[in-house]
Structure 1
């Protein structure tokens, strides 16, 4: 039987002002074993996605399975049966790209089952599931990504992040809903806020790749974070405290995790992190990896 192991990194998106456009891959990994079998479907999930509040389906509605099916259709294969073992280290619904990682794993598996290398369609297939490509692109390519949509197609370019970057994540126990967080966004923003945030997003690309000394101003946002603060008040307060202490902090993706972009991996002792699990994660530079036998 054909069997593949897919390792896919977590990601943090937006990075402050780069709403739906900037993503960074993180060294925390889901590992999915995929085996083509003679018939049926068997899904096993362990670690972050198994049981309790993080329960996930074990049938055709499982996100990895859905992505495999969609990709298999695209590349013209139809495995008669599948066995999946998903070892999930990325916490669900915390703003660390767990859904995008699952989709990327499924897309990578679909190409592997077809005996094909992933091509430009892989990102589009993955991004279609969420409607934006920042997390998916980071998990696919690793490093720092700029993502956009043009004429109905998702695109991204990978950039090399500055080697001194040492992201620190403050991950709360509470979960968040991307749909709920997006529902708090206004239909319109002022021209002044849009212009301010566009400038900071451009600066963020420079700071993240060439000059980390500019990370604090580069991660300032007026487009989305303050509108969504009611969904995660403790996280919003921590972002404010860290930024007041000179740390380039932002909400990670749709939250509620907090991203601190440091060069030393240290948060100030005064930071109110009692309700958070604080972890330093390296930047993943490789993106999704597929090995097979």
Structure 2
């Protein structure tokens, strides 16, 4: 009960004041307090200090936590990722944000619920419509009495991926090209990821994937596993340590269909961080093109 009232009582008092003073709800300013820009298929991390500065514009000291109150268009543009008590990065859709707090001090994050404000990131879908996502939020003190209302605009547009992609492999129709995990590490480092890359997650490929070929783990070996278009995004492919995923990234390969021509793109997100953390992530594209010979060359 304490959690319920701490979160909702200030909003109730705000409504009461608005009614008594005859100030309509639409009187909130149209310009956003925080503004970010991100390309389709890319990500942008929110800055803790900006939430703190907003809070300090009305109150002294540091805030305790942030609550998002309006996020109805989030799923149309992408999703959020945040770090939990166990330093694991978790993906959050609209349905996950209800009654969820993001703590300014990461040490305040409780077990099995809520997340740290530090590392909170928006991931834009590669096929999202260009436009502006508006998120409304409230920044609270530790008692849940003092709070500041704010709005955030995330402008989604363009496409961060080039036609070559972050990693480019060439494969002859009907043959295999193996993945090199160091190519993904280089893509992670070059895109600004800090610490060590831990694992890679692929997005669900386009329909072109089904006609181009198949990704395998341990192709031609015992316990070989193939990944269909609907399965590829279900797994984590780890770099070095199996604690961070389901299959070894260095044992993946792409086996091209005998009629494969042109190219196929596999979008991915690489996660990592310092120590055991996985609170850093970058996005990239693996482009596999048809050629006269098979080669794995990280671009």
Structure richer in helix, relative to its length: 1
Question: Higher strand share goes to which structure?
Answer: 2
Same fold (TM over 0.5): no
TM-score scaled by length of structure 1? 0.26
TM-score (norm 2): 0.26
Q: Which protein, 1 or 2, shows the higher relative CO under an 8 Å CA cutoff with sep ≥ 6?
A: 1
